[in-house]
Chain A
Protein backbone atom coordinates (compact mmCIF):
# COMPACT_ATOMS: atom_id res chain seq x y z
CA UNK A 1 0.00 0.00 0.00
CA UNK A 2 1.06 3.54 -0.66
CA UNK A 3 0.91 4.40 3.04
CA UNK A 4 1.69 7.67 4.70
CA UNK A 5 -1.78 9.13 4.47
CA UNK A 6 -3.71 9.21 7.69
CA UNK A 7 -6.73 11.08 8.84
CA UNK A 8 -7.74 11.29 12.44
CA UNK A 9 -11.29 10.51 13.37
CA UNK A 10 -11.76 14.15 14.33
CA UNK A 11 -10.63 15.28 10.89
CA UNK A 12 -12.75 12.68 9.18
CA UNK A 13 -15.91 13.92 10.89
CA UNK A 14 -15.29 17.32 9.33
CA UNK A 15 -14.91 15.94 5.83
CA UNK A 16 -17.44 14.45 3.48
CA UNK A 17 -16.40 10.99 2.35
CA UNK A 18 -15.77 12.22 -1.17
CA UNK A 19 -13.53 14.95 0.25
CA UNK A 20 -11.46 12.30 1.96
CA UNK A 21 -11.26 10.46 -1.36
CA UNK A 22 -10.19 13.74 -2.99
CA UNK A 23 -7.46 14.39 -0.46
CA UNK A 24 -6.26 10.80 -0.65
CA UNK A 25 -5.98 10.82 -4.42
CA UNK A 26 -4.18 14.17 -4.32
CA UNK A 27 -1.67 12.72 -1.85
CA UNK A 28 -1.20 9.60 -3.93
CA UNK A 29 -0.74 11.74 -7.01
CA UNK A 30 2.16 13.54 -5.34
CA UNK A 31 4.03 10.27 -4.97
CA UNK A 32 3.01 8.52 -8.14
CA UNK A 33 3.26 10.53 -11.35
CA UNK A 34 1.51 7.79 -13.30
CA UNK A 35 -1.80 8.59 -11.58
CA UNK A 36 -4.27 10.45 -13.78
CA UNK A 37 -7.78 11.58 -12.82
CA UNK A 38 -10.79 11.86 -15.08
CA UNK A 39 -14.13 13.46 -14.38
CA UNK A 40 -17.29 14.06 -16.43
CA UNK A 41 -18.04 17.62 -15.27
CA UNK A 42 -18.09 16.42 -11.68
CA UNK A 43 -14.70 17.51 -10.38
CA UNK A 44 -16.43 19.56 -7.72
CA UNK A 45 -19.16 17.06 -6.84
CA UNK A 46 -16.76 14.13 -6.68
CA UNK A 47 -14.10 16.22 -4.90
CA UNK A 48 -11.34 15.65 -7.43
CA UNK A 49 -10.73 19.37 -7.26
CA UNK A 50 -7.68 19.01 -4.98
CA UNK A 51 -6.00 16.78 -7.52
CA UNK A 52 -6.96 19.14 -10.33
CA UNK A 53 -5.55 22.13 -8.45
CA UNK A 54 -2.25 20.43 -7.72
CA UNK A 55 -1.79 18.46 -10.94
CA UNK A 56 -3.82 20.12 -13.69
CA UNK A 57 -1.70 18.42 -16.34
CA UNK A 58 -2.85 15.02 -15.04
CA UNK A 59 -6.51 15.87 -14.76
CA UNK A 60 -8.99 15.67 -17.60
CA UNK A 61 -12.53 16.95 -17.46
CA UNK A 62 -14.24 15.10 -20.30
CA UNK A 63 -17.56 16.92 -20.06
CA UNK A 64 -20.83 15.14 -19.49
CA UNK A 65 -19.78 11.98 -21.30
CA UNK A 66 -19.34 9.00 -18.99
CA UNK A 67 -18.90 6.48 -21.79
CA UNK A 68 -16.12 8.54 -23.31
CA UNK A 69 -14.50 8.92 -19.91
CA UNK A 70 -14.33 5.17 -19.36
CA UNK A 71 -12.94 4.55 -22.84
CA UNK A 72 -10.31 7.24 -22.38
CA UNK A 73 -9.44 5.75 -19.00
CA UNK A 74 -8.96 2.34 -20.61
CA UNK A 75 -6.75 3.77 -23.36
CA UNK A 76 -4.62 5.64 -20.84
CA UNK A 77 -4.32 2.57 -18.62
CA UNK A 78 -3.36 0.43 -21.62
CA UNK A 79 -0.53 2.90 -22.10
CA UNK A 80 0.77 2.38 -18.57
CA UNK A 81 -1.02 5.01 -16.50
CA UNK A 82 -3.04 4.40 -13.33
CA UNK A 83 -6.37 6.05 -13.94
CA UNK A 84 -8.93 7.15 -11.36
CA UNK A 85 -12.23 7.93 -13.04
CA UNK A 86 -15.00 9.21 -10.85
CA UNK A 87 -18.65 9.89 -11.41
CA UNK A 88 -22.01 9.19 -9.82
CA UNK A 89 -22.37 5.45 -9.12
CA UNK A 90 -25.58 5.22 -11.10
CA UNK A 91 -23.89 6.47 -14.27
CA UNK A 92 -20.63 4.58 -13.71
CA UNK A 93 -22.56 1.35 -13.47
CA UNK A 94 -25.38 1.89 -15.96
CA UNK A 95 -24.63 4.66 -18.43
CA UNK A 96 -21.06 3.52 -19.04
CA UNK A 97 -21.54 -0.17 -18.33
CA UNK A 98 -20.60 -1.41 -21.81
CA UNK A 99 -17.31 0.48 -21.63
CA UNK A 100 -16.68 -0.75 -18.08
CA UNK A 101 -17.37 -4.29 -19.24
CA UNK A 102 -15.33 -4.31 -22.43
CA UNK A 103 -12.74 -1.56 -22.25
CA UNK A 104 -11.83 -1.99 -18.59
CA UNK A 105 -12.72 -5.48 -17.45
CA UNK A 106 -12.19 -7.50 -20.64
CA UNK A 107 -8.93 -5.74 -21.32
CA UNK A 108 -8.11 -6.02 -17.59
CA UNK A 109 -6.61 -2.58 -17.32
CA UNK A 110 -5.58 -0.46 -14.37
CA UNK A 111 -8.62 1.74 -14.00
CA UNK A 112 -10.08 2.64 -10.62
CA UNK A 113 -13.69 3.60 -10.93
CA UNK A 114 -14.92 5.70 -8.02
CA UNK A 115 -18.69 5.71 -7.86
CA UNK A 116 -19.96 8.56 -5.74
CA UNK A 117 -23.48 9.28 -4.51
CA UNK A 118 -23.88 5.54 -3.87
CA UNK A 119 -27.13 3.92 -2.84
CA UNK A 120 -29.78 6.43 -1.79
CA UNK A 121 -27.23 8.90 -0.42
CA UNK A 122 -28.42 11.47 -2.98
CA UNK A 123 -31.93 10.69 -1.84
CA UNK A 124 -33.55 13.96 -2.76
CA UNK A 125 -32.49 13.52 -6.37
CA UNK A 126 -34.85 10.65 -6.97
CA UNK A 127 -34.40 7.35 -8.72
CA UNK A 128 -32.56 8.81 -11.72
CA UNK A 129 -29.70 9.47 -9.30
CA UNK A 130 -30.09 6.66 -6.79
CA UNK A 131 -27.52 3.94 -7.36
CA UNK A 132 -29.37 0.92 -6.07
CA UNK A 133 -28.31 -1.65 -8.68
CA UNK A 134 -24.65 -0.75 -9.16
CA UNK A 135 -23.17 -3.53 -7.05
CA UNK A 136 -25.37 -6.14 -8.68
CA UNK A 137 -24.49 -4.86 -12.13
CA UNK A 138 -20.74 -4.52 -11.61
CA UNK A 139 -20.12 -7.52 -9.34
CA UNK A 140 -20.35 -10.13 -12.15
CA UNK A 141 -17.78 -8.36 -14.33
CA UNK A 142 -14.65 -10.49 -14.67
CA UNK A 143 -11.47 -9.02 -13.16
CA UNK A 144 -13.38 -6.36 -11.20
CA UNK A 145 -12.83 -5.84 -7.47
CA UNK A 146 -15.81 -4.20 -5.75
CA UNK A 147 -15.41 -2.26 -2.50
CA UNK A 148 -18.04 -0.41 -0.49
CA UNK A 149 -16.22 1.40 2.33
CA UNK A 150 -18.00 1.99 5.64
CA UNK A 151 -16.73 5.52 6.23
CA UNK A 152 -14.17 8.11 5.24
CA UNK A 153 -11.15 6.44 6.78
CA UNK A 154 -12.03 3.18 5.11
CA UNK A 155 -12.48 5.03 1.83
CA UNK A 156 -8.92 6.34 2.16
CA UNK A 157 -7.71 2.81 2.82
CA UNK A 158 -9.63 1.42 -0.14
CA UNK A 159 -8.33 4.09 -2.51
CA UNK A 160 -4.75 3.48 -1.38
CA UNK A 161 -5.16 -0.27 -1.79
CA UNK A 162 -6.66 0.19 -5.26
CA UNK A 163 -3.77 2.42 -6.33
CA UNK A 164 -1.30 -0.19 -5.14
CA UNK A 165 -3.05 -3.16 -6.74
CA UNK A 166 -3.04 -3.66 -10.54
CA UNK A 167 -6.37 -4.18 -12.23
CA UNK A 168 -9.90 -2.79 -12.27
CA UNK A 169 -11.55 -1.57 -9.06
CA UNK A 170 -14.98 -0.19 -8.35
CA UNK A 171 -15.17 1.76 -5.11
CA UNK A 172 -18.63 2.96 -4.15
CA UNK A 173 -18.86 5.89 -1.76
CA UNK A 174 -21.67 8.08 -0.54
CA UNK A 175 -22.63 11.66 -1.08
CA UNK A 176 -22.04 13.87 1.91
CA UNK A 177 -20.90 12.81 5.34
CA UNK A 178 -20.75 9.26 6.61
CA UNK A 179 -21.08 8.37 10.26
CA UNK A 180 -17.64 7.57 11.58
CA UNK A 181 -17.07 3.87 12.09
CA UNK A 182 -13.30 3.83 12.52
CA UNK A 183 -11.30 5.96 14.92
CA UNK A 184 -8.05 5.12 13.15
CA UNK A 185 -6.90 4.06 9.70
CA UNK A 186 -4.71 1.34 11.17
CA UNK A 187 -7.23 -1.42 11.73
CA UNK A 188 -5.72 -3.73 9.16
CA UNK A 189 -7.72 -3.00 6.03
CA UNK A 190 -7.13 -5.67 3.45
CA UNK A 191 -8.96 -6.10 0.14
CA UNK A 192 -11.15 -9.21 0.33
CA UNK A 193 -10.83 -9.52 4.09
CA UNK A 194 -13.92 -8.67 6.12
CA UNK A 195 -13.56 -6.86 9.44
CA UNK A 196 -15.34 -8.28 12.47
CA UNK A 197 -16.41 -5.10 14.22
CA UNK A 198 -18.04 -6.78 17.16
CA UNK A 199 -18.24 -10.43 18.14
CA UNK A 200 -21.36 -12.34 19.02
CA UNK A 201 -22.89 -15.79 18.73
CA UNK A 202 -26.67 -15.24 18.54
CA UNK A 203 -26.79 -13.77 15.05
CA UNK A 204 -24.42 -12.18 12.54
CA UNK A 205 -25.14 -8.85 10.88
CA UNK A 206 -23.15 -8.49 7.67
CA UNK A 207 -23.19 -4.95 6.35
CA UNK A 208 -21.37 -2.68 3.95
CA UNK A 209 -21.08 1.05 3.38
CA UNK A 210 -23.31 3.32 5.43
CA UNK A 211 -25.09 0.29 6.87
CA UNK A 212 -22.06 -0.76 8.92
CA UNK A 213 -22.55 2.12 11.36
CA UNK A 214 -26.25 1.27 11.58
CA UNK A 215 -25.42 -2.38 12.21
CA UNK A 216 -23.11 -1.42 15.06
CA UNK A 217 -25.80 0.79 16.60
CA UNK A 218 -28.29 -2.03 16.21
CA UNK A 219 -25.92 -4.49 17.87
CA UNK A 220 -25.59 -2.16 20.88
CA UNK A 221 -29.37 -1.89 21.20
CA UNK A 222 -29.79 -5.65 20.85
CA UNK A 223 -27.22 -6.22 23.57
CA UNK A 224 -28.50 -3.55 25.95
CA UNK A 225 -32.23 -4.02 25.52
CA UNK A 226 -32.55 -7.66 24.54
CA UNK A 227 -29.37 -9.34 25.77
CA UNK A 228 -28.72 -10.59 22.27
CA UNK A 229 -25.11 -10.89 21.18
CA UNK A 230 -24.93 -9.91 17.54
CA UNK A 231 -21.73 -10.30 15.57
CA UNK A 232 -21.17 -7.39 13.21
CA UNK A 233 -19.09 -7.93 10.07
CA UNK A 234 -18.04 -5.08 7.83
CA UNK A 235 -17.97 -6.74 4.41
CA UNK A 236 -16.26 -3.82 2.71
CA UNK A 237 -15.13 -5.95 -0.21
CA UNK A 238 -18.13 -7.40 -2.00
CA UNK A 239 -15.92 -9.05 -4.59
CA UNK A 240 -13.90 -11.09 -3.92
CA UNK A 241 -16.09 -11.78 -0.93
CA UNK A 242 -14.56 -13.11 2.28
CA UNK A 243 -16.00 -16.61 2.17
CA UNK A 244 -14.27 -17.67 5.36
CA UNK A 245 -15.91 -14.89 7.36
CA UNK A 246 -19.35 -15.86 6.03
CA UNK A 247 -18.89 -19.58 6.60
CA UNK A 248 -17.55 -18.96 10.11
CA UNK A 249 -20.67 -16.90 10.84
CA UNK A 250 -22.85 -19.70 9.47
CA UNK A 251 -21.16 -22.27 11.68
CA UNK A 252 -21.10 -20.13 14.80
CA UNK A 253 -24.36 -18.17 14.68
CA UNK A 254 -26.65 -20.01 12.22
CA UNK A 255 -28.52 -16.81 11.55
CA UNK A 256 -27.34 -14.05 9.25
CA UNK A 257 -28.87 -10.75 8.34
CA UNK A 258 -27.33 -8.68 5.56
CA UNK A 259 -27.76 -4.93 5.36
CA UNK A 260 -27.04 -2.77 2.35
CA UNK A 261 -28.14 0.47 0.73
CA UNK A 262 -28.85 -1.37 -2.53
CA UNK A 263 -31.59 -3.49 -4.00
CA UNK A 264 -31.89 -6.87 -2.31
CA UNK A 265 -31.27 -8.43 -5.72
CA UNK A 266 -27.66 -8.92 -6.72
CA UNK A 267 -25.76 -7.02 -4.06
CA UNK A 268 -24.16 -7.88 -0.73
CA UNK A 269 -27.07 -10.05 0.39
CA UNK A 270 -26.98 -12.07 -2.80
CA UNK A 271 -23.21 -12.46 -2.59
CA UNK A 272 -23.49 -13.72 0.99
CA UNK A 273 -26.36 -16.03 0.00
CA UNK A 274 -24.22 -17.56 -2.74
CA UNK A 275 -21.51 -18.39 -0.22
CA UNK A 276 -23.99 -19.81 2.28
CA UNK A 277 -25.68 -22.06 -0.26
CA UNK A 278 -22.39 -23.35 -1.64
CA UNK A 279 -21.14 -23.93 1.90
CA UNK A 280 -23.66 -26.72 2.41
CA UNK A 281 -24.59 -25.73 5.96
CA UNK A 282 -28.10 -24.59 6.74
CA UNK A 283 -28.43 -21.02 7.85
CA UNK A 284 -31.29 -18.60 8.21
CA UNK A 285 -30.70 -15.56 6.03
CA UNK A 286 -32.58 -12.30 5.88
CA UNK A 287 -31.54 -9.73 3.28
CA UNK A 288 -32.24 -6.14 4.22
CA UNK A 289 -31.98 -3.54 1.52
CA UNK A 290 -34.16 -1.77 -0.93
CA UNK A 291 -37.03 -4.01 -1.99
CA UNK A 292 -37.73 -4.57 -5.69
CA UNK A 293 -39.40 -1.22 -6.12
CA UNK A 294 -38.33 2.36 -6.73
CA UNK A 295 -37.29 4.23 -3.65
CA UNK A 296 -39.18 7.31 -2.53
CA UNK A 297 -37.45 10.68 -2.73
CA UNK A 298 -36.08 11.93 0.55
CA UNK A 299 -33.18 12.48 2.88
CA UNK A 300 -30.71 9.61 3.07
CA UNK A 301 -31.39 8.89 6.73
CA UNK A 302 -35.13 8.92 6.12
CA UNK A 303 -34.82 6.54 3.19
CA UNK A 304 -32.61 4.23 5.25
CA UNK A 305 -35.32 4.17 7.91
CA UNK A 306 -37.97 3.61 5.25
CA UNK A 307 -36.05 0.63 3.91
CA UNK A 308 -35.33 -0.70 7.42
CA UNK A 309 -31.60 -0.53 6.89
CA UNK A 310 -31.08 1.85 9.81
CA UNK A 311 -30.44 0.71 13.38
CA UNK A 312 -34.12 0.48 14.30
CA UNK A 313 -34.95 -1.44 11.15
CA UNK A 314 -32.13 -3.86 11.75
CA UNK A 315 -33.21 -4.40 15.37
CA UNK A 316 -36.78 -5.06 14.27
CA UNK A 317 -35.72 -7.61 11.68
CA UNK A 318 -33.26 -9.31 14.01
CA UNK A 319 -35.96 -9.74 16.62
CA UNK A 320 -38.24 -11.33 14.03
CA UNK A 321 -35.52 -13.71 12.94
CA UNK A 322 -34.75 -14.64 16.51
CA UNK A 323 -38.30 -15.96 16.86
CA UNK A 324 -37.55 -18.57 14.25
CA UNK A 325 -35.83 -21.54 15.82
CA UNK A 326 -34.22 -23.11 12.81
CA UNK A 327 -32.59 -25.84 14.84
CA UNK A 328 -35.97 -27.39 15.68
CA UNK A 329 -36.90 -27.49 12.02
CA UNK A 330 -33.82 -29.19 10.73
CA UNK A 331 -31.68 -32.12 11.56
CA UNK A 332 -28.30 -30.37 11.45
CA UNK A 333 -26.53 -33.70 11.40
CA UNK A 334 -27.90 -34.50 7.95
CA UNK A 335 -26.14 -31.64 6.25
CA UNK A 336 -23.55 -32.21 3.57
Chain B
Protein backbone atom coordinates (compact mmCIF):
# COMPACT_ATOMS: atom_id res chain seq x y z
CA UNK B 1 0.00 0.00 0.00
CA UNK B 2 1.31 3.43 -1.00
CA UNK B 3 0.15 4.95 2.30
CA UNK B 4 0.81 3.81 5.83
CA UNK B 5 -2.20 3.68 8.11
CA UNK B 6 -0.98 6.78 9.87
CA UNK B 7 -0.56 8.64 6.57
CA UNK B 8 -3.92 7.50 5.27
CA UNK B 9 -5.77 8.55 8.39
CA UNK B 10 -3.89 11.84 8.50
CA UNK B 11 -4.62 12.59 4.85
CA UNK B 12 -8.31 11.71 5.28
CA UNK B 13 -8.44 14.23 8.12
CA UNK B 14 -6.70 16.82 5.94
CA UNK B 15 -9.15 16.20 3.11
CA UNK B 16 -12.04 16.66 5.52
CA UNK B 17 -10.57 19.86 6.93
CA UNK B 18 -10.08 21.15 3.39
CA UNK B 19 -13.61 20.40 2.19
CA UNK B 20 -15.05 21.73 5.44
CA UNK B 21 -13.17 25.01 5.14
CA UNK B 22 -14.26 25.18 1.51
CA UNK B 23 -17.92 24.97 2.63
CA UNK B 24 -17.27 27.75 5.14
CA UNK B 25 -15.60 29.89 2.49
CA UNK B 26 -18.52 29.43 0.08
CA UNK B 27 -20.81 30.41 2.93
CA UNK B 28 -18.78 33.57 3.63
CA UNK B 29 -18.46 34.38 -0.06
CA UNK B 30 -22.16 33.88 -0.67
CA UNK B 31 -21.60 31.31 -3.42
CA UNK B 32 -18.91 29.22 -5.02
CA UNK B 33 -17.82 26.33 -7.20
CA UNK B 34 -18.53 23.58 -4.71
CA UNK B 35 -18.99 20.70 -7.17
CA UNK B 36 -15.55 20.75 -8.79
CA UNK B 37 -13.89 21.80 -5.54
CA UNK B 38 -15.14 18.78 -3.66
CA UNK B 39 -14.26 16.44 -6.52
CA UNK B 40 -10.66 17.69 -6.70
CA UNK B 41 -10.11 17.87 -2.93
CA UNK B 42 -8.50 14.45 -2.56
CA UNK B 43 -6.14 15.08 -5.48
CA UNK B 44 -5.03 18.39 -3.96
CA UNK B 45 -4.63 16.81 -0.53
CA UNK B 46 -2.33 14.11 -1.84
CA UNK B 47 -0.31 16.57 -3.90
CA UNK B 48 0.17 19.26 -1.28
CA UNK B 49 0.53 17.00 1.76
CA UNK B 50 2.56 14.18 0.27
CA UNK B 51 3.76 14.14 -3.33
CA UNK B 52 4.71 17.71 -4.25
CA UNK B 53 7.96 18.85 -2.66
CA UNK B 54 6.73 22.15 -1.45
CA UNK B 55 7.63 23.94 1.75
CA UNK B 56 5.10 26.69 2.48
CA UNK B 57 7.76 28.51 4.49
CA UNK B 58 9.98 28.61 1.42
CA UNK B 59 7.32 28.94 -1.23
CA UNK B 60 9.59 30.75 -3.69
CA UNK B 61 12.22 28.00 -3.66
CA UNK B 62 13.15 27.63 -7.36
CA UNK B 63 13.60 23.90 -6.79
CA UNK B 64 10.09 23.36 -5.43
CA UNK B 65 7.72 21.09 -7.30
CA UNK B 66 5.10 23.02 -9.26
CA UNK B 67 1.37 22.40 -9.09
CA UNK B 68 -0.74 23.95 -11.83
CA UNK B 69 -4.46 23.72 -11.17
CA UNK B 70 -5.75 24.42 -14.65
CA UNK B 71 -9.40 24.25 -13.57
CA UNK B 72 -8.92 27.67 -12.07
CA UNK B 73 -12.54 28.16 -11.03
CA UNK B 74 -11.85 26.12 -7.90
CA UNK B 75 -10.23 29.08 -6.16
CA UNK B 76 -12.75 28.51 -3.41
CA UNK B 77 -10.94 25.33 -2.38
CA UNK B 78 -7.43 26.52 -3.28
CA UNK B 79 -7.72 29.51 -0.97
CA UNK B 80 -8.70 27.31 2.01
CA UNK B 81 -5.89 24.93 1.06
CA UNK B 82 -3.38 27.76 1.09
CA UNK B 83 -4.88 28.96 4.37
CA UNK B 84 -4.34 25.51 5.89
CA UNK B 85 -0.78 25.61 4.56
CA UNK B 86 -0.27 28.98 6.23
CA UNK B 87 0.10 30.98 3.01
CA UNK B 88 -3.25 32.75 3.26
CA UNK B 89 -4.56 34.23 6.48
CA UNK B 90 -7.64 32.32 7.61
CA UNK B 91 -9.32 35.62 8.35
CA UNK B 92 -8.86 36.56 4.69
CA UNK B 93 -11.08 33.66 3.65
CA UNK B 94 -13.96 35.65 5.11
CA UNK B 95 -13.28 38.34 2.50
CA UNK B 96 -13.45 35.89 -0.43
CA UNK B 97 -15.18 37.55 -3.39
CA UNK B 98 -15.60 40.81 -1.50
CA UNK B 99 -14.57 44.05 -3.15
CA UNK B 100 -10.88 44.67 -2.58
CA UNK B 101 -10.14 41.12 -1.42
CA UNK B 102 -7.02 39.42 -2.70
CA UNK B 103 -9.13 36.28 -3.03
CA UNK B 104 -11.81 35.69 -5.62
CA UNK B 105 -13.30 32.94 -7.75
CA UNK B 106 -10.11 32.60 -9.82
CA UNK B 107 -6.97 33.18 -7.78
CA UNK B 108 -4.21 35.57 -8.86
CA UNK B 109 -0.74 34.06 -8.57
CA UNK B 110 0.68 37.54 -8.09
CA UNK B 111 -1.45 37.92 -4.95
CA UNK B 112 -1.48 34.43 -3.42
CA UNK B 113 1.94 33.28 -2.28
CA UNK B 114 2.83 29.80 -3.45
CA UNK B 115 0.22 29.62 -6.19
CA UNK B 116 2.13 28.68 -9.33
CA UNK B 117 -0.16 30.13 -12.01
CA UNK B 118 -3.18 32.36 -12.50
CA UNK B 119 -5.67 30.12 -14.21
CA UNK B 120 -9.31 30.55 -15.06
CA UNK B 121 -9.44 30.66 -18.82
CA UNK B 122 -9.78 26.92 -19.30
CA UNK B 123 -7.26 24.90 -21.22
CA UNK B 124 -4.33 27.18 -20.40
CA UNK B 125 -2.76 25.27 -17.52
CA UNK B 126 -1.46 22.45 -19.68
CA UNK B 127 0.85 24.71 -21.67
CA UNK B 128 1.96 26.68 -18.63
CA UNK B 129 2.78 23.44 -16.82
CA UNK B 130 4.67 22.18 -19.85
CA UNK B 131 6.67 25.41 -19.98
CA UNK B 132 7.57 25.04 -16.31
CA UNK B 133 8.54 21.42 -16.81
CA UNK B 134 10.69 22.28 -19.82
CA UNK B 135 12.37 25.07 -17.87
CA UNK B 136 13.66 22.71 -15.16
CA UNK B 137 16.42 20.95 -17.13
CA UNK B 138 17.37 24.23 -18.83
CA UNK B 139 18.15 25.63 -15.41
CA UNK B 140 19.75 22.48 -14.05
CA UNK B 141 16.81 21.83 -11.73
CA UNK B 142 15.03 18.60 -10.99
CA UNK B 143 11.61 19.66 -9.80
CA UNK B 144 8.43 17.94 -10.91
CA UNK B 145 5.40 19.69 -12.33
CA UNK B 146 1.94 18.41 -11.49
CA UNK B 147 -0.88 19.47 -13.75
CA UNK B 148 -4.47 19.17 -12.52
CA UNK B 149 -7.07 19.36 -15.28
CA UNK B 150 -10.82 19.33 -15.15
CA UNK B 151 -12.49 16.88 -17.48
CA UNK B 152 -14.83 19.46 -18.98
CA UNK B 153 -11.90 21.68 -19.87
CA UNK B 154 -10.55 18.87 -22.04
CA UNK B 155 -13.07 20.14 -24.61
CA UNK B 156 -10.54 22.93 -25.19
CA UNK B 157 -8.24 22.25 -28.12
CA UNK B 158 -5.29 23.83 -26.33
CA UNK B 159 -5.29 20.90 -23.85
CA UNK B 160 -4.51 18.60 -26.73
CA UNK B 161 -1.95 20.93 -28.29
CA UNK B 162 -0.10 20.73 -25.00
CA UNK B 163 -0.66 16.99 -24.63
CA UNK B 164 0.86 16.41 -28.06
CA UNK B 165 3.83 18.60 -27.15
CA UNK B 166 4.26 16.96 -23.74
CA UNK B 167 4.60 13.62 -25.42
CA UNK B 168 6.83 15.06 -28.14
CA UNK B 169 9.21 16.72 -25.67
CA UNK B 170 9.13 13.88 -23.12
CA UNK B 171 12.60 12.70 -23.86
CA UNK B 172 14.18 16.03 -24.48
CA UNK B 173 16.00 16.98 -21.31
CA UNK B 174 14.15 15.22 -18.53
CA UNK B 175 10.57 16.32 -18.74
CA UNK B 176 8.98 15.58 -15.41
CA UNK B 177 5.33 16.46 -15.86
CA UNK B 178 2.46 14.49 -14.37
CA UNK B 179 -1.09 15.11 -15.52
CA UNK B 180 -4.05 14.35 -13.29
CA UNK B 181 -7.57 14.77 -14.66
CA UNK B 182 -10.38 15.32 -12.20
CA UNK B 183 -12.88 13.18 -14.12
CA UNK B 184 -16.03 14.21 -12.30
CA UNK B 185 -18.18 13.61 -15.38
CA UNK B 186 -20.05 16.90 -15.14
CA UNK B 187 -19.82 20.40 -16.42
CA UNK B 188 -22.02 23.50 -16.22
CA UNK B 189 -24.71 22.31 -18.61
CA UNK B 190 -24.78 18.65 -17.68
CA UNK B 191 -22.94 15.36 -17.99
CA UNK B 192 -19.77 15.56 -20.07
CA UNK B 193 -21.03 12.85 -22.37
CA UNK B 194 -24.23 14.77 -23.08
CA UNK B 195 -22.59 18.16 -23.55
CA UNK B 196 -19.53 17.06 -25.51
CA UNK B 197 -18.55 13.42 -25.30
CA UNK B 198 -15.07 12.81 -23.96
CA UNK B 199 -15.16 9.02 -24.13
CA UNK B 200 -13.19 7.03 -24.98
CA UNK B 201 -11.26 9.43 -22.77
CA UNK B 202 -8.42 7.23 -21.63
CA UNK B 203 -7.84 6.09 -25.21
CA UNK B 204 -7.47 9.70 -26.26
CA UNK B 205 -4.63 10.19 -23.77
CA UNK B 206 -3.05 6.93 -24.86
CA UNK B 207 -3.27 8.04 -28.48
CA UNK B 208 -1.46 11.24 -27.50
CA UNK B 209 1.42 9.15 -26.19
CA UNK B 210 0.60 8.97 -22.50
CA UNK B 211 0.86 6.15 -20.02
CA UNK B 212 -2.55 6.21 -18.38
CA UNK B 213 -3.98 5.00 -15.11
CA UNK B 214 -7.64 5.29 -14.23
CA UNK B 215 -8.28 5.26 -10.54
CA UNK B 216 -10.98 6.11 -8.02
CA UNK B 217 -10.17 9.73 -7.26
CA UNK B 218 -11.68 9.51 -3.79
CA UNK B 219 -9.74 6.41 -2.75
CA UNK B 220 -6.61 7.92 -1.25
CA UNK B 221 -4.45 4.75 -1.20
CA UNK B 222 -5.41 3.95 -4.81
CA UNK B 223 -4.77 7.52 -5.92
CA UNK B 224 -1.50 7.49 -4.00
CA UNK B 225 -0.45 4.30 -5.71
CA UNK B 226 -1.13 5.86 -9.12
CA UNK B 227 0.89 8.91 -8.11
CA UNK B 228 3.76 6.69 -6.93
CA UNK B 229 3.88 5.11 -10.38
CA UNK B 230 3.71 8.47 -12.10
CA UNK B 231 6.36 9.99 -9.85
CA UNK B 232 8.67 7.03 -10.49
CA UNK B 233 8.53 8.03 -14.15
CA UNK B 234 8.86 6.07 -17.33
CA UNK B 235 9.43 6.46 -21.03
CA UNK B 236 6.04 8.10 -21.56
CA UNK B 237 4.41 11.00 -19.75
CA UNK B 238 1.79 9.94 -17.20
CA UNK B 239 -1.85 10.86 -17.13
CA UNK B 240 -3.86 9.80 -14.11
CA UNK B 241 -7.57 9.87 -14.75
CA UNK B 242 -9.03 10.32 -11.32
CA UNK B 243 -12.60 9.10 -11.47
CA UNK B 244 -14.43 11.41 -9.10
CA UNK B 245 -17.90 12.56 -8.10
CA UNK B 246 -18.83 16.18 -8.53
CA UNK B 247 -19.95 17.69 -5.24
CA UNK B 248 -19.02 14.52 -3.36
CA UNK B 249 -19.64 14.33 0.37
CA UNK B 250 -22.87 16.31 0.45
CA UNK B 251 -26.17 14.57 -0.25
CA UNK B 252 -27.81 17.21 -2.39
CA UNK B 253 -24.73 17.98 -4.51
CA UNK B 254 -23.14 14.58 -4.95
CA UNK B 255 -23.12 13.72 -8.66
CA UNK B 256 -25.41 16.63 -9.42
CA UNK B 257 -24.09 18.84 -12.22
CA UNK B 258 -26.29 21.68 -11.01
CA UNK B 259 -23.91 22.11 -8.09
CA UNK B 260 -21.06 23.18 -10.37
CA UNK B 261 -21.63 26.57 -8.82
CA UNK B 262 -24.14 27.63 -6.28
CA UNK B 263 -25.10 29.34 -3.07
CA UNK B 264 -26.12 27.74 0.22
CA UNK B 265 -29.01 29.06 2.22
CA UNK B 266 -28.76 28.42 5.95
CA UNK B 267 -30.51 25.07 5.75
CA UNK B 268 -28.35 23.86 2.88
CA UNK B 269 -25.17 25.03 4.61
CA UNK B 270 -26.18 23.14 7.76
CA UNK B 271 -27.01 20.04 5.75
CA UNK B 272 -23.77 20.29 3.79
CA UNK B 273 -21.67 20.57 6.96
CA UNK B 274 -23.50 17.65 8.56
CA UNK B 275 -23.31 15.47 5.44
CA UNK B 276 -19.64 16.20 4.93
CA UNK B 277 -18.89 15.34 8.55
CA UNK B 278 -20.65 12.01 8.17
CA UNK B 279 -19.01 11.27 4.81
CA UNK B 280 -15.54 12.18 6.04
CA UNK B 281 -15.89 10.31 9.34
CA UNK B 282 -16.83 7.18 7.42
CA UNK B 283 -13.72 7.57 5.30
CA UNK B 284 -11.54 8.17 8.34
CA UNK B 285 -13.02 5.13 10.06
CA UNK B 286 -12.31 3.06 6.96
CA UNK B 287 -8.71 4.25 6.96
CA UNK B 288 -8.35 3.34 10.62
CA UNK B 289 -9.86 -0.07 10.01
CA UNK B 290 -8.19 -1.03 6.76
CA UNK B 291 -4.91 0.87 7.02
CA UNK B 292 -1.73 -1.05 7.64
Contact = CB atoms under 8 A, between A and B. Distances in A.
A63 B130 CA distance: 14
B110 A103 contact: no
B127 A71 contact: yes
Interface string A95-118: 000110111001110000000000
Contact of A60 (B129, B132, B134, B161): B134
A279 B132 CA distance: 44
Given A58-B138, A71-B162, A108-B110, A78 B131 contact: yes
A336 B283 CA distance: 72
A107 B131 CA distance: 14
A75 B66 CA distance: 10
Nearest to A101: B121
Given A65-B165, A68-B165, A99-B124, A106 B118 contact: yes
Contacts of B136: 79
B282 interface: no
A101 B119 CA distance: 12
A68 B128 contact: no
B121 A78 contact: no
Contacts of A57: 138, 173
Interface string B107-135: 01110000011101100101111111111
Contacts of A16: none
Interface in B60-114: 62, 66, 68, 108-110
A74 interface: yes
A176 B28 CA distance: 58
Contact of B161 (A58, A68, A103, A107): A68
Contacts of B117: 74-75, 78, 103, 107
Interface in A73-105: 73-81, 98-99, 101-103
B165 A107 contact: no
A285 B229 CA distance: 66
B125 to A, nearest CB: 8
Interface of A: 34, 36, 57-58, 60, 62-63, 65, 67-81, 98-99, 101-103, 106-108
Among all A-B residue pairs, the 8 with the closest Cβ atoms: A75-B131, A71-B127, A79-B135, A68-B161, A72-B131, A75-B128, A65-B161, A75-B132
